[in-house]
Structure 1
Amino acid sequence: MGFRNTRLRTKVTALLLSLAALWAFAAWVTLREGVNLLWVTQLNSSVVDPSVQVLEELQKERRFSVVKLSDPSPRARRELDSQRKQTDLMITAFQESAGATVVDWAMDDEGARRLAEVFRRLDSIQQTRQAVDAGRLNRVQAMDAFATVIDPFYNLYGAVATLDDKTIAKEIRALSALSRAREVLSREDALLTGALTEGRLSPAEHAEFTQTVGAWHIVADQAASELHESDRIAYDRLVKGSSFVQLAGLERQISEQSPAIGALPFGAEEWKTVSGRALNDFNTMVLAGGDRVVDRAVPVAVNVIIRLVLAGGLGLIAVIASIILSITTARAIFAQLQKLRDAAHELSDDRLPGVVERIGRGEEVDLAKEAPDLDFGDDEIGQVGQAFNTVQRTAIKVAAEQAELRRSIRDILLSLARRTQGLVHRQLTVLDVMERRETDPEELKELFRLDHLAIRMRRNAENLIVLSGSSPARTWRRSVPMVDVVRGALAEVEDYTRVTLLPMGEVVLVGRAVGDVVHLLAELIENAVSFSPPYTNVQVTGQLVANGYVVEIEDRGLGMKPEDLEAANERIANPPEFRITGTARLGLYVVSQLARRHDIQVVLKASPYGGTTVVVLLPQELVQLDPRPEPQGGGGERLPRRPTAVATVARPVAGEVARPVTAEAPRGAENVRALKPTRPAPVAEPAPAPVAKPGLVPAPEPVPEPPAEPEQQPVAEFTPSGLPLRVPQANLAPALRDDTPKQPDLEEDDDERSPEEIRAMMGSLQSGTRLGRTQAAKMLDEQQGGEAP
């Protein structure tokens, strides 16, 4: 399965490599026979031939050693010393020849081990010589000591005969066995020569002689059966020759003689003549057989060379031709496949997104022009190209249909959201009128609850507008204090009583961003309240920083995993395309769209209290210092003022210490407005505080109206896209301006009551409530007085 998924270029390369490997294997198999033949030839000249001479000299030294043990005369000693010198010369020559580096290359591990064993046994011959000189060995023991030195040579011959030709290898093993039979015959000669020198044959030596005679005959006969026909004829001729016939007669005489007799039926000179001639004839036959094997190996070597030329030369030519053909064919295939691949990438990366984008903008798309047919030829790849032409036409058609469908769905969502938004605005207007007329505290409380629910419904409708790619209709012409912006966001949160609002500073937000910032903060605060335990509070604070204004929202919930925080921040920074396949994380998508509209940075991080902290950074162009006169002694670094029409907002009474305020759910963005200064109205006498409408803060004590300042020319503001912000009646003459709208403004509530008017209304409500309670108490007293006896 893994090879199926590899690239075509890799498969072609693998095919060529396998072909080259097959040729290399065939060439190596043929070459190995030639190399093996070369190594065998090298071993024969460096190891086998010198070792044959060593064996002959060792066999002679063994014969003279046995004679020395039987005849301690000076003559026997001189002959032994002379033979030892000759043996040492042959051993030294053999060690130099077999120890060459080329022998190490030609011999395998088993042959090297056997050669090392031969060297070790040759080094031990000095101990055997010392034992012979000291007379510590008898004739049989001396023969056994020399056998331990000679036998490893025949083991070495078995490791050297490793030709791949089975016939030649079989003949070499047979000749090696004949050579071993000659070694047994040489041992027999040494044993009997020692006995003839002493003049008697002990029973133990008689038994050893009988076993030796039988051994060399058995080994020779078995080896002869494996010889080549010509070599077997030569062996039969040798066995039937006069030397071997005389040798067999002498062996038979001793074997048939009783061991107890001890005397020998013939003399030493007769045995020496017969055995010496038999050993020479045997050695000549073996060497001649070796020469004939070499002659028969010549055609094998020639055959190996011919196969090497065919497999190596012609095979190499075939491999090179295959590689050239494969490369040229592969290049043509790759060119067509790359053309097909580039067309597919162009379709997926350029044409399809472009078609979808243009359809999303409402443009007409010509499918035939957007999906031109590609010509790939008439072969198999060309047929694939024709199928691709059909696929791309279908893909562009389906993409166009899907884009049209998504645009239709967005239009439907936008239409429904606009209708819902209009109804909610009308509902809020009706609720506002009812709240003004109502004097019953309980009923007023319920109306405030309905008002709060309607504000939340309006935010949900605006979410649909944002998801459809449009902008909500709520806008402000004037800047709004930041504290009122945050209170407006709290008015759209269900569990607003759990939110603690810390001092925000005297900063105002430009009007074009008020609605979106209120919506953004409401989503984030709602999320913080929803994902934290009900017994915990959510803190909201704000302050000026070097790059603008920061609002921090901190909850005390369970927090988020690091990977979830990273994913949420990535989703906010780089929002994906909105899909209608699921509803998870819609709030984050809305936040990301609102933040991108005004270049607002929103980052989620872990809170040290275990929850999550949301940092909202408003850029400098969205915030300004409150243009009202600063209090005496005020200081601190502030943003530079910009001349603009900024409304006056309510201030805390003089001397009041700023402290965290638990939010009372302000009445949405309608209550985040600039309040017009008016003259102080008559104030009723104090009364118990009534039920507060969410979002309304008790008005401060009336202060003298500041002197009127000369009207300043407002500076033109701009939308996030760079277009100038339209201000109704901005270019009309003062006499023609109409500050009282005839119909309720859906974008900003037309009820701009001053704090004094609100206080007067609350005072009237409190006075009526107190009057009602007083009358009810009088009526109760009259009823109780009438019932008394």
Structure 2
Amino acid sequence: MRFRNASVRAKVTALIVSLTLLWAFAAWVTLREGVNLLWAATVNSGVIDPSEPLLVELQEERRLTAAHLGAGRRLVDKAIRDQRAETDTATAEFESAASGTAVQFAMDDSLGRRLQEVRGQLDRLTEVRKSIDSGKADFAKAATEYNTIIDSFYRMYDSVAEFDDKEAAKDGRTLSEMHHVREIFAREDALLAGIFAKGGFTQAEHTEFVKTAGVFRYSLAETMQQLREEDRAAFESWLKTPSVARVQAMENQLVRHDATLEPLPVSGEEWTKQAQATLSTMQTVTLKAGDRLLERITPIAIGVVVRLALAGGLGLLAVIASIVLSITTTRQLLAQLQKLRDAAHELSDERLPGIVERIGHGEEVDVAKEAPALDFGDDEIGQVGQAFNTVQRTAIAVAAEQAELRRSIRDILLSLARRTQGLVHRQLTVLDVMERRETDPEELKELFRLDHLAIRMRRNAENLIVLSGSSPARTWRRSVPMVDVVRGALAEVEDYTRVSLMPMGEVVLVGRAVGDVIHLLAELIENAVSFSPPYTNVQVSGQLVANGYVIEIEDRGLGMKPEDLDAANERIADPPEFRITGTARLGLYVVSQLAKRHDIQVVLKASPYGGTTVVVLLPQELVQLDPTPEPHDGGERERLPRRQPAVATATRPPAAPSATPPRAPAPAENVRTLPTRPTPVPAPTPAPDSRPRPQAAPTPRPEPAPAPEPEAETPAEPEQQSVTEFTPGGLPLRVPQANLAPALRDDTPTQPDFEEDDDERSPEEIRAMMGSLQSGTRRGRSQAAKMLEDQQGGDA
């Protein structure tokens, strides 16, 4: 399974290696035959050939020694000394030939052990001769010693490696056995030499002679049956020679001879003459049979050499040619595959995405020009290229369909979002009218809740607009204070009461970015509130820095894993293409799109309090210092209106949580300039922790102008210009009795302390007061807006 997934180069390399190993095996099989032939020739020339003369000399020395001991002579004669010298010379030549380096390398372990045995026996020859010369060895013992030395030679012959050809090996073993048969007759001759020298048999000697003669005849007959036809015919002719016939006749006479009663029927001279002739002719016939075996082996050896040349030489050339062809073919194949791969990668990584993107943007694309067909010939790789061309055309067609489908889905989302946005705007207008008319605190509370839900629905509709790739319709022409921008974001958060707003400084945000920044902060604050425990607060703070303005949103939740933080930051910094399926975190995608639109940097990091801190860096071109905190008519910015309270000496408790949340800045098309005459309205004071509390909807800052009298209301007394005081959070202080009619105003309060008065009021009373405050504020805003329209109509 692993080899199936290997590369083409690895597979070709494995094929070359297997081919090389196959050649090596075939060459070794043939080479082994040649090596065996070489080793056999080396052993034959270094061991066998030198041993045969030595063996003959030992046989002759044994015969002369047997005759010497049979005659009972004490001193060895000259013939024995001369024979011993011939034996020593043959021994020296044998030792010299067998000690060669080539012979030692060609011998196997078995032949080496047999050769060492022969050398050991030859070393004992000197001791045997001394025992014979000293008279310690008799006839039988001397013959036994020589027989032992000669037998070691035949054991060495049996250890010579055979030919791989079975017929040749069989013929070689048969000739070796025939040579051993000659040794048996030589022992018989040596035994009779001693008998003739002594003049007669003993019973034991006669038994030994009969046994040796019987073994010779039996071995000769059995060995001749194993010879080839021509070799057997040669030995049969040899058996019919006069010397062999005479030897057989004399053997028969000696076998029938009674060892104790009769003299020997055969003379020693005649036996020696015929026996030497028999041994000589038998050696000649055996050597001729060996020559014929060599002639039969020669073609076998030539065949081995030829096979060795073919397997070793031509096979090696074939392997080299195969390797070269495989390498060149592999290189060409890999080059074509690499070209095809590069072309496919270029198409899939560069051209095809660009074509799909352009098709997605609605451009007309010439597919044949932008993604030309791949041409790699008509071979198998070319056919793969043609198949890839088909895949390419199908992929482009599918991509075009998918791009059109995504564009259609985005258009559907945008259409639905625009419709929903319009309906939500109308709903907010209706709710605003109802809130102005309502005086019942409980009903007003429910209307405020509906108002808040509608604002959140508007943000969800704007999310769909952002997902579809468009911009929400809410825009501002003028700058808005940063604190009002953050309040507008809080108005779109469900659990806004858990958000603590820190001082934001006198900084304004340019109008073109107000809507998107409110939306972005609302998503981040909503995320922080949703993923933190309900008993914790989310803190929002801001300050000017060297690169712009930084807003930090810190929650006290469980936090995020480092890898999740990295993934979220990467998603925000480099937003991927929006997919309809599998998008679980739409908020991050919306934030990334809004931040990308204005080059806003949004970074998530771990909070030291446990949780997550979001750092929003607004670039310098989006923020400005606010040199005039109180804008006048004709100013260059518009802001979330603040109320103009009267002079205050103390603060009132915050409103109950059921009051309305802060309202976002109104869109540019809904913003109107109020009359220049200030209309003081009481405002709630925030709690010391600066957390936004439910409060009345802020109204635009009034400008100096005569205020119209509200409809169905008692005309109010002219208001006195008041001095505004604010809390550390930037909210106006509410002053008791600042808006009462002169007739109702009590200059000498009966209550010594307003705190005690607050303590005596119930929550229901406070809620009723705040509801009346809200309704009055909204009526005042309506009257001021109507007055402004009348003035503008009169000027026109």
TM range, smaller chain? 0.5 to 0.7
Q: Does residue 112 of the first structure (1) align with residue 108 of the second (2)?
A: yes
Q: 1:207 to 1:629 in 2, by over 3 A?
A: farther
Q: Closer, same or farther in 2 for the Cα pair 1:369/1:121, shift >3 Å?
A: same
Quick one: structure 1 residues 378 and 685, their matched pair in 2 at CA, closer, same or farther if it must change by over 3 Å? closer
Please state how far the C-alpha of 1:207 moved relative to its aligned partner. Answer: 7.4
**Which residue does 1:719 correspond to in 2?**
none
1:286 to 1:614, Cα distance in 2 relative to 1, 3 A = farther
**Counterpart position of 1:95:** 98
1:119–1:297: structure 2 CA closer, same or farther, 3 Å change rule? closer
Please give the residue correspondences for 1:530-679 in structure 2 after superposition, counting only pairs within 5 Å.
549=550, 551=552, 553=554, 556-557=557-558, 559-560=560-561, 571-599=571-599, 613=612, 616=615, 618=617, 621=620, 667=662, 670=665
CA drift of 1:401 comes to: 2.0
Asked if 1 retains the 8 angstrom alpha-carbon contact of 2:501 and 2:691, the reply is no
Q: 1:627–1:646: 8 Å Cα contact kept in structure 2?
A: no
Residue 296 (structure 1) shift? 2.7
Q: Is the 8 A contact 1:507 1:623 kept in 2?
A: no
* 1:504-543 mapped onto 2 (5 Å cutoff): 515-516=515-516, 519-520=519-520, 522-523=522-523, 526=526
- Aligned residue for 2:113, secondary structure, equals helix
Shift, 1:167, TM fit: 3.5
Q: Which residue of 2 aligns with 1:121?
A: 117
- Whichever residue aligns with residue 580 of structure 2, its letter is I
Q: Confirm or deny: 8 A CA contact 1:487 1:666 kept in the other structure.
A: no
Could you tell me which of 146, 149, 158 is aligned with 1:146?
A: 149
- After superposing the two structures, state which structure 1 stretch, 313-322 or 445-454, moved more: 313-322
Secondary structure of the structure 2 residue equivalent to 1:418: helix
Give the match's secondary structure for 1:618: strand
Q: CA deviation at 1:584?
A: 3.1
Moved more, 620-629 or 411-420: 620-629
Q: Which letter maps to 2:405?
A: L
- 1:359 alignment partner, SS class: helix
How far, CA to CA, are the matches of 2:27 and 2:9 in structure 1? Answer: 27
Gaps of 5+ in 1: 631-643, 654-661, 700-704, 709-752, 777-789
1:173 and 1:57 map into 2 onto residues whose CA distance is: 23
Question: Offset at 1:361?
Answer: 1.9
1:457 paired to 2:451: no
**Aligned CA distance change for structure 1 residues 770 and 587 (closer, same or farther; 3 Å):** closer
Alignment of 1:2-401 (within 5 A): 37-53=37-53, 55-56=55-56, 73-75=74-76, 82=85, 85-86=88-89, 88-97=91-100, 99-100=101-102, 104=105, 107=106, 111-122=107-118, 124-125=120-121, 128-129=124-125, 132=128, 138=141, 142=145, 146=149, 149-157=152-160, 159=161, 161-163=162-164, 165-183=165-183, 221=221, 223-245=223-245, 248=248, 276-303=276-303, 344-345=344-345, 347-366=347-366, 390-401=390-401
- Structure 1 distance, partners of 2:408, 2:104, is 90
Task: Return the alpha-carbon distance in structure 1 between the equivalents of residues 262 and 485 of structure 2.
Answer: 138
SS in 2 for 1:557: coil
RMSD, aligned CA: 6.2
Q: Which residue of 2 aligns with 1:408?
A: 408
How many pairs were matched up? 688
CA distance in 2, matches of 1:279, 1:697: 141
Question: 2:159 corresponds to which letter in structure 1?
Answer: L
Contact 1:493-1:665 within 8 A present in 2 as well: no
Q: Displacement of 1:89 after TM fit? A: 0.8
CA offsets 1:426-448 (integer angstroms, 9 cap, x no match) = 44455556556666665555445
Counterparts of 2:63 and 2:536, CA distance in 1:
115
- Distance in 1 of aligned mates of 2:207 and 2:535: 115
Of 16-25 and 32-41, deviating more is: 16-25
Counterpart contact for 2:445–2:660, Cα < 8 Å: no
Once the two structures are overlaid, the 10-residue window that deviates more, 376-385 or 168-177, is 376-385
| Equivalent residue letter for 1:416 | L
The TM-score normalised by the length of structure 1 is: 0.65
Distance 1:92 1:383, change over 3 A: closer
Percent of paired sites with the same residue = 56
**Which whole-Å deviations, capped at 9, do the CAs of 1:164-186 have from their partners, x for residues lacking one?**
x4433433333334344445555
SS where residue 364 of structure 1 aligns? coil
Counterpart code for 1:462: E
Question: Could you tell me which residue of structure 1 aligns to residue 470 of structure 2?
Answer: 470
Residues 1:533 and 1:683: Cα distance change in structure 2 (over 3 Å): closer
Q: By how many angstroms is 1:366 displaced?
A: 4.3
| Alpha-carbon distance, 1:572 to partner | 4.6
SS in 1 for 2:404: helix
Cα pair distance change 1:555/1:141, threshold 3 Å: farther
> Which moved further from structure 2: 398-407 or 166-175?
166-175
How far, CA to CA, are the matches of 2:198 and 2:531 in structure 1?
Answer: 119
CA–CA distance in structure 2, aligned partners of residues 668 and 192 of structure 1 = 146
Q: Choose 7-16 or 576-585, whichever is displaced more.
A: 7-16
Residue pair 1:480, 1:672 contacting (<8 A) in 2 also: no
Q: Which amino acid aligns with 2:617?
A: L
Q: Deviations over 1:660-701 (max 9, x none)?
A: xx9x99748649999x999998687999x99x99944889xx
For 2:532 and 2:217, locate their aligned partners in 1 and report how far apart those are by CA, in whole Å: 107
Structure 1 Cα separation of the partners of residues 108 and 142 of structure 2: 33
- Matches of 2:170 and 2:767 in 1, distance apart? 140
Distance 1:550 1:155, change over 3 A: farther
1:448-467 CA deviation, whole Å, 9 max, x = no partner?
A: 54444444433433332333
In 2, distance between residues paired with 1:18 and 1:146? 53
The answer (yes or no) to whether the contact 1:628–1:648 under 8 Å persists in 2 is: no
The AA in structure 1 aligned to 2:420 is: T
Q: Would you say the 8 A contact 2:501–2:539 is kept in 1?
A: yes
- Aligned AA for 2:358? R
Which whole-Å deviations, capped at 9, do the CAs of 1:95-143 have from their partners, x for residues lacking one? 322x32x863xx4xxx521233134324533774587457799558746
- Asked if the contact 1:532/1:556 (under 8 Å) is kept, the reply is yes
- Change beyond 3 A, Cα 1:451–1:303: same
Secondary structure of the corresponding residue to residue 365 of structure 2: coil
Query: TM-score w.r.t. structure 2 length?
Result: 0.64
Alpha-carbon distance change, 40 to 586 in structure 1, aligned in 2, over 3 angstroms? farther
What's the CA shift for 1:301? 4.5
AA aligned to 1:92 is E
Quick check: 2:247–2:274 contact (8 Å CA) kept in 1? yes
Counterpart residue number, 1:714? none
Is contact 1:143–1:187 with CA below 8 Å preserved after alignment? no
Extract unaligned runs of 5+ from structure 2.
630-635, 643-647, 649-656, 704-724, 741-756, 769-796
* Segment of structure 1 superposing worse, 220-229 or 194-203: 194-203
**Secondary structure of the corresponding residue to residue 159 of structure 2:** helix
Q: Quick check: which has more Rg, 1 or 2?
A: 2
CA distance in 2, matches of 1:196, 1:555: 132
1:543-590 deviation line (CA, Å, top 9, x unaligned): 888877584756543854x76666555545544433223233444444
Distance in 2 (alpha carbons) for counterparts of 1:262 and 1:622? 151
Structure 1 residue identity aligned to 2:558: G
* 1:283 alignment partner AA: Q
Matches within 5 A, 1:478-493: 492=492
Q: Which residue of the partner structure matches residue 653 of structure 2?
A: none
* Residue aligned with 1:407, SS: helix
Q: Equivalents in 1 of 2:419, 2:170: separation in Å? A: 106
Q: Give secondary structure in 2 for the equivalent of 1:75.
A: coil
Cα distance, 1:359 vs structure 2: 1.9
TM-fit CA distance, 1:299: 3.5
